[in-house]
């Protein structure tokens, strides 16, 4: 019989259910279990594709082109669970599917209701995630907070699965908050009320993960166990980490969370080798070497807007035994600076510059100025999606002297649209746009830096964009010295570019950050951080020479 684990949250949102679920998944994999991960988002949006980065953080894209919640990125970084459209479930999807069935007459004239029709569809979607015969455990994170009206159908579906499949096959893990009040006292009352809410729905938690500023003592854990009817050993202290979120699997392992889960589900398991996570944490804790990377973007106010990029940079640091210090630079501030000297002052103390993806014209000129500074000063530069387009715009303006070169996204009627809509590559009269989503192949130029970094001629990466380098300007740009180092299989679209005679100036139209893991850094991020470290060494050597002179 297949096993299911539901991870819910109480008291308030943003407690870290996604990290907790992913950490548990990683421990089960280390015990030789085969797992699948799924995220339930109670919002009525069909997916996260149209949601603002300010409100919802980044959009994580899967190989099959699904635009999903950023927690799927956590699953990808912590586990090897395959992720796709089926692993992201929203209220919008469920109601859309049920209404479509009703319109098709598939309910045979019956009244369509939340129970059983909505909950049945939810259960079908959950069961489909782990339907492969080799899958042992499916971990389902239910977004939102217990008590939210939006989450009720999903919690009811979980309750029904526990009843139908047997409690020995379905486990409830509840993440809740132990707040600290005046006098540094930890309070359990919010947790008691949260469990009470969950039990009122008909779900008794088997395991409690207690978020707190520090580790809970045994007396407090016993108190929580008594009030919530959860075994003492299953009250797990999910305390704040000092160094990195990648320490959480180790924290859970020290409290035998994985053993408790597997014993409760009656599963056999092997030994657990935690050395990969221990190495990751050791780099964060013990490395005395730091490299400063500027992320020049337009959404920097919200921490999660560039979540996968930030994490991939940390992974690049781990691969080079360095800690990465992220310097978040608002591109609008660079845009408002009056002189190139001001730009140099803002970026002069960083070792590398990364421009990530994004949409809309706001802050673009600041990104162009950052790219120009990196190109003319030999600073390692990594452009992702929009960051590649910025490279092309800057090069066309500075080297080809097309002062009004731009993208039709930002200037639809500009005289030099060096970046334009996909359809414009073929038919200038057709201004419709369709997003390129999901994984596709890119062919890399022999002898190019990106080909050397990957070590293979063809790579498969994920896309999320509408605009491309215009083929009308492609030859002109190449003849001026900007190398086109990657193309689609039919050679019709530019996938990567490179500054010639530059230590590291690479732009890619795809999103490599989605494939990076702390235990296996993406080669582009590992290479970028390596070159940023080399730039720091050169800069420090130059300072010493000048001081000696």
Distances (CA, A) of 236 to 98, 138, 261: 38, 21, 12
How much is the pLDDT for 37?
A: 98
Residue 441 has pLDDT above 90, yes or no: yes
Question: In 147-207, where does DSSP find H-type helix?
Answer: 152-165, 189-201
**pLDDT-derived band at 432, boundaries 50, 70, 90:** very low
How much is the pLDDT for 302?
A: 82
CATH of domain 287-540: 3.40.50.880
How much is the pLDDT for 434?
A: 65
Whole-model pTM? 0.93
Report yes or no: 264 and 270 within 8 Å, Cβ to Cβ. Answer: no
Average pLDDT over residues 194-211: 96
Catalytic residue among 468, 513, 522, 530: 513
Looking at domain 3-279, its CATH class is alpha beta
**pLDDT-derived band at 300, boundaries 50, 70, 90:** confident
Closest CA to 47 of 77, 91, 111: 91
Work out the number of other CB atoms within 10 angstroms of the CB of residue 360: 10
How much is the pLDDT for 431?
A: 40
Average pLDDT over residues 511-538: 97
Residue 430 has pLDDT above 50, yes or no: no
Average pLDDT over residues 257-263: 97
**pLDDT-derived band at 423, boundaries 50, 70, 90:** low
Residue 429 has pLDDT above 60, yes or no: no
513 is catalytic: yes
Distances (CA, A) of 319 to 27, 300, 518: 22, 25, 8
Residue 223, classified by CB atoms within 10 Å of its CB into exposed (0-12), middle (13-18) or buried (19+), is middle
Task: Tell me which of 44-53, 159-168, 522-531 is least confident.
Answer: 44-53
Q: pLDDT tens digits, residue range 337-394?
A: 989 999 999 999 999 999 999 888 899 999 999 999 999 999 999 999 999 999 999 9
- For the record, the structure tokens of 83 come out as 């992720």
12 is catalytic: no
Q: pLDDT tens digits, residue range 77-96?
A: 999 999 999 999 999 999 99
Average pLDDT over residues 507-517: 98
Query: Can 3-279 and 287-540 be said to share one CATH topology?
Result: yes
Residue 99 has pLDDT above 80, yes or no: yes
Q: Where are the domains of the chain?
A: 3-279, 287-540
Catalytic residue among 315, 416, 511, 535: 511
Query: Bigger pLDDT: 546 or 241?
Result: 241
How much is the pLDDT for 243?
A: 86
How much is the pLDDT for 293?
A: 98
Catalytic residue among 385, 416, 468, 530: 385
């Amino acid at each position: 019989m297949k096993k299911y684990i539901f991870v819910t949250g109480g008291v308030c949102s943003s407690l870290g259910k996604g990290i907790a679920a992913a950490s548990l998944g990683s421990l089960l994999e280390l015990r030789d279990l085969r797992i699948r991960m799924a995220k339930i988002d109670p919002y009525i949006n069909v997916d996260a594709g149209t949601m603002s980065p300010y409100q919802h953080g980044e959009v994580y894209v899967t190989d099959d082109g699904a635009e999903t919640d950023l927690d799927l990125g956590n699953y990808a970084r912590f586990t090897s669970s395959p992720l796709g459209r089926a692993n992201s479930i929203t209220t919008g999807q469920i109601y859309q599917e049920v209404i479509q069935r009703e319109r098709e007459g598939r309910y045979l004239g019956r009244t369509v209701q939340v129970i059983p029709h909505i909950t049945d569809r939810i259960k079908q979607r959950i069961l489909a995630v782990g339907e492969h015969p080799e899958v042992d455990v499916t971990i389902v994170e239910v977004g939102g907070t217990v008590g939210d009206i939006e989450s009720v159908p999903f919690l009811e579906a979980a309750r029904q699965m526990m009843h139908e499949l047997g409690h020995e096959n379905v486990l409830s893990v509840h993440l809740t908050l132990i707040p600290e009040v005046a006098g540094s006292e930890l309070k359990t009352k919010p947790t008691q009320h949260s469990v009470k809410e969950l039990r009122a729905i008909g779900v008794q938690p088997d395991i409690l993960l207690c978020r707190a500023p520090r580790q809970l003592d045994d007396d407090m854990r016993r108190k929580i166990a008594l009030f919530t009817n959860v075994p003492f050993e299953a009250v797990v202290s999910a305390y704040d980490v000092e160094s990195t979120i990648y320490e959480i699997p180790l924290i859970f392992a020290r409290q035998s969370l994985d053993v408790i889960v597997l014993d409760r589900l009656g599963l056999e398991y092997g030994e657990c080798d935690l050395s990969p996570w221990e190495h990751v944490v050791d780099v964060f804790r013990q490395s005395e070497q730091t490299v400063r990377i500027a992320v020049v973007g337009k959404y920097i106010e919200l921490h999660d807007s560039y979540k996968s990029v930030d994490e991939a940079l940390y992974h690049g640091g781990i691969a080079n035994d360095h800690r990465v210090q992220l310097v978040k630079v608002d591109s609008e501030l660079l845009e408002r600076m009056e002189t190139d000297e001001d730009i140099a002052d803002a970026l002069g103390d960083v070792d590398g510059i990364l421009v990530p993806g994004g949409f809309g014209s706001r802050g673009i000129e600041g990104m162009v100025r950052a790219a120009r500074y990196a190109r003319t000063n030999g600073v390692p530069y990594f452009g992702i999606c929009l960051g590649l387009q910025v490279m092309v715009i800057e090069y066309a303006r500075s080297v080809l002297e097309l002062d009004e070169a731009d993208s039709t996204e930002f200037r639809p009627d500009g005289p030099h649209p060096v970046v334009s809509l996909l359809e414009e590559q073929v038919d200038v009269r057709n201004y419709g746009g369709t997003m390129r989503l999901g994984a596709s192949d890119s062919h890399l130029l022999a002898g190019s830096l990106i080909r050397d970094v990957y070590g293979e001629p063809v790579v498969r990466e994920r896309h999320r964009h509408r605009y491309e380098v215009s083929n009308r300007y492609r030859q002109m740009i190449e003849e001026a010295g900007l190398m086109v180092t990657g193309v689609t299989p039919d050679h019709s679209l530019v996938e990567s570019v490179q500054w010639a005679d530059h230590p590291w100036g690479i732009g890619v139209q795809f999103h490599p950050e989605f494939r990076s893991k702390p235990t296996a850094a993406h080669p582009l991020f590992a290479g970028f951080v390596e070159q940023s470290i080399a730039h720091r060494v050169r800069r420090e050597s130059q300072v010493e020479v000048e001081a000696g002179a």
